[in-house]
Amino acid sequence: MRLKAIVSYDGSSFSGYQIQPGKRTVQLELENVLCAMHKGEIVKVVASGRTDAGVHATGQVIHFDSTLTIPMENWRTAFNVQLPGDIRILSVEQVRDDFHARYDATGKTYRYIWSLNQVHSPFERNYSVHADRYRPNIELMKESTVYLLGTHDFSSFCASNTSVKDFVRTVRSIELEFKKETNQLHMVINGNGFLYNMVRIIAGTLWEIAIGKKSVGELQGIVESCDRSQAGKTAPAHGLYLENVEYSQ
């Protein structure tokens, strides 16, 4: 049967999601557990998409096939007792045999977090990006998001080392939220899909607008240029979270 699981992980100690030779990755840890559960049989895990080193997930989605007869309500515990503490399975359910975690996804939500605290707590340093001496103009960030909403060629917001041929994506919403209780700024972005490093480049570009390195008026031209060199720097990985993956069924 085919199973779908929602996975949460702290990306701090991983070299990203995808298996790489000699590196600790999320996929490797998941497949090691499944291999042990299946008595040495290799069980491949397919995710909704890969995340880079340092990127976190609160709602990554995977699928895999299994011949085990474990009761469905016991799958989560069976996983979590064997996984390291920085990965947790939140839920497991049986899905149709042709379900695909990546190709069936109809949308994703990411969250990016900046800390505006004067001192970046050591307990926060792996989970938010420090504003340092800057005090961002959040209203300018909000104003500029209008140029990113809708369907565009997002070549300006894609890392150059990609094999993707189609750069057209639809950004459905971008929300900027100041969290007074933690003195953090959150960017929550939803779209039908994202290019390699697209969310981090958008975050980096909006940040440059917020601190006066770019103007709101420049953003429309950046989008239309389809030129990566025109956009802002790629924001650091550790401020990014894959929060939710959407499916039509």
- CA nearest neighbour of 55 among 94, 16, 26: 16
Structure tokens at 8: 């949460």
Q: How many CB atoms lie under 10 A from the CB of residue 184? A: 20
Q: How many CB atoms lie under 10 A from the CB of residue 21? A: 4
**Beta strands 105-115 and 129-130, pairing class:** parallel
3-state SS, residue 193: coil
Q: State in Å, rounded, how far the first CA of the chain is from the last one.
A: 18
Q: Which residues are catalytic?
A: 52
Kind and range of the H or E element at 241? strand 240-247
